A = this chain, B = another copy of it.
């Protein structure tokens, strides 16, 4: 089935306790598209970059069968740029620079050839841009997934709630779920967020894994314990991309299949943390991914064969 990904394609500059980068490729759209491309060769991208963006990376996306007709290249403008520095625990970071550039007035134009997409993944962007994409699709996709962040809860909560009401699954982290629901318990947070519209909720907990909620069901996927988290930038987007790419390629939105999608997304996200930016993701082979998934199985598998007294 076809997948439409909407998200930023951008430059990042990252500093971690392990080192720092110059401007490298980043953006939610980049990570999602790369991750999805492990599963689907029927992906379309809506995004915007400036004239300064390297053709080389766009060619790379094309080589992974990502349709770029909906990627706007703005003459005379600059690409979105974010710079951040991670603290020693790698769980918190400071934003050093945010240059919106082309994102400031981003109007997500949907090419005619993108109409009739089956799956839609809305990467973290202004909720107004996200809802515009849904409204511009003449036929509602079969399944709409959405990421967001606390920034939009702070400055655009009404817009955000409107967009949330239009999607099937929200994919956010634990801190965001708590802020959005005003509940500390993640079980209660799901109940509040379900009332906002989405039937499914994924709560990402970084090194502690992820939870999938649907009706009265919950699934807990671990994160692979890593010796070093070299650079977590993009891990959440990679997770989301692997998740939606897997769903679109299997065209099965049952709870059971979503579990598989989460395991696949988690496996890809674990690679993402091993090097700066998209570097590690670009090296990963299908064999690497299969091997990593088998590590997830080993990590969580137990057998209650000995009966309890």
Query: Across the interface, do B220 and A256 meet the contact criterion of CB distance under 8 Å?
Result: no
Query: Across the interface, do A308 and B39 meet the contact criterion of CB distance under 8 Å?
Result: yes
Q: Tell me, yes or no, whether A260 is within 8 Å of chain B by CB.
A: yes
Known A-B contacts A306-B252, A306-B257; the reply to A220 vs B300 at CB < 8 A is: yes
Query: Across the interface, do A208 and B211 meet the contact criterion of CB distance under 8 Å?
Result: no
Contacts of A88 in B (CB 8 A): 184
Contacts of A302 in B (CB 8 A): 219, 221, 256, 259-260, 262-263
Contacts of A257 in B (CB 8 A): 306
Known A-B contacts A208-B209, A220-B222; the reply to A228 vs B306 at CB < 8 A is: no
Report Cα–Cα, A229/B303, bound state, in Å. 28
Report Cα–Cα, A150/B229, bound state, in Å. 25
Query: Across the interface, do B229 and A225 meet the contact criterion of CB distance under 8 Å?
Result: no
Q: Tell me, yes or no, whether A297 is within 8 Å of chain B by CB.
A: yes
Can you tell how many copies of this chain the complex includes?
2
Question: How close is A145's CB to chain B, nearest CB, in angstroms?
Answer: 19
8 contacts between A and B (CB under 8 A): A39-B309, A88-B184, A90-B184, A219-B299, A219-B302, A222-B222, A262-B302, A286-B308
Beyond A218-B225, A219-B302, A221-B302, 10 additional contacts (C-beta under 8 Å) are A39-B309, A90-B184, A187-B226, A187-B227, A209-B209, A218-B299, A250-B306, A260-B303, A264-B308, A297-B304
Which residues of A are at the interface with B, using a C-beta cutoff of 8 A?
Answer: 38-40, 88-90, 184-188, 205, 208-209, 211, 217-222, 225-229, 246, 249-250, 252, 256-257, 259-260, 262-264, 286, 289-290, 293, 297-300, 302-306, 308-309
